[in-house]
Amino acid sequence: MKAIEEMLNLSHRVSQHVVGSEGNTSVRSGNYFYIKASGCSLNTLREDEIIKCDLNGNQINNFHLKPSLETCFHSLLYRKTNCNYIAHTHPVETLKILCTNRVAQFSKERIFPDQVVFNGVESCVVKYAHPGQELMRSIQESIDKFFYEKKHFPNLILLQSHGIICIGETVNKCVYSTDICEKAANIFLTNGINFLSQSQVSKIANDQREKYRASKN
């Protein structure tokens, strides 16, 4: 099944950004989505460790397994954004920022063109909340505010003192967004950075060639 193959592909490719059973991934297929079972590792994920849920987050199969504690926010994002793929990871360099008071700056400043292309002009910040329903409500509040202000949903969601969520139309976009975020964080933590100006960021964001390149991933 295509969705299962994509789940395994996505999970294995972003597994470098988690330790053990951290993080979770999911893939939408029509009115359902597939998500990693709780306690399973992304880098060794198997087909029999994947759970099918409806868009309200209700478990459909493999009842001997428990879905990820964070299934509720995957359900929310599929209903809200119409994305097809979600990767939630805990990248080390990014976490160094998410655990400081520099999160807001990291969400707004852009360093290089691919950060604009794959992470967006600006990222959404979610204040720390306990994983589960509390975090889901905090994400909903933050992305609703982001949409009200920007008129679109974010590609990248930064969870304070926790990790990141990348959403995308394809597996590649999810993976690249995750990798680019970590690359940007690594550079952000150095001294003397020349951030892109707002006019430069806007030019990149509206460049049809960049949009075409992104559409091919």
What's the residue count for the chain? Answer: 217
Q: Is the pLDDT of residue 213 over 90?
A: no
CA–CA separation, 49 and 66 (whole Å): 10
Is the pTM of the predicted complex or chain greater than 0.85? Answer: yes
Q: Is the pLDDT of residue 212 over 90?
A: no
Residue-level pLDDT at 191: 87
CA–CA separation, 171 and 169 (whole Å): 7
**Between β-strands 85-89 and 163-168, what pairing exists: parallel, antiparallel or unpaired?**
antiparallel
Give the residue extent of every domain in the chain.
Answer: 2-215
Q: Is the pLDDT of residue 216 over 90?
A: no
CA angle 107, 154, 8 (to 5 degrees): 105
Q: Is the pLDDT of residue 215 over 90?
A: no
CA–CA separation, 35 and 29 (whole Å): 11
Give the homologous superfamily in CATH for domain 2-215.
Answer: Class II aldolase/adducin N-terminal domain (3.40.225.10)
Average predicted confidence (pLDDT) for the chain:
96
Residue-level pLDDT at 197: 95
Q: pLDDT digits over 59-88, tens only?
A: 999 999 999 999 999 999 999 998 999 999
CA–CA separation, 99 and 164 (whole Å): 12
Q: pLDDT digits over 132-148, tens only?
A: 999 999 999 999 999 99
Q: Is the pLDDT of residue 192 over 90?
A: no
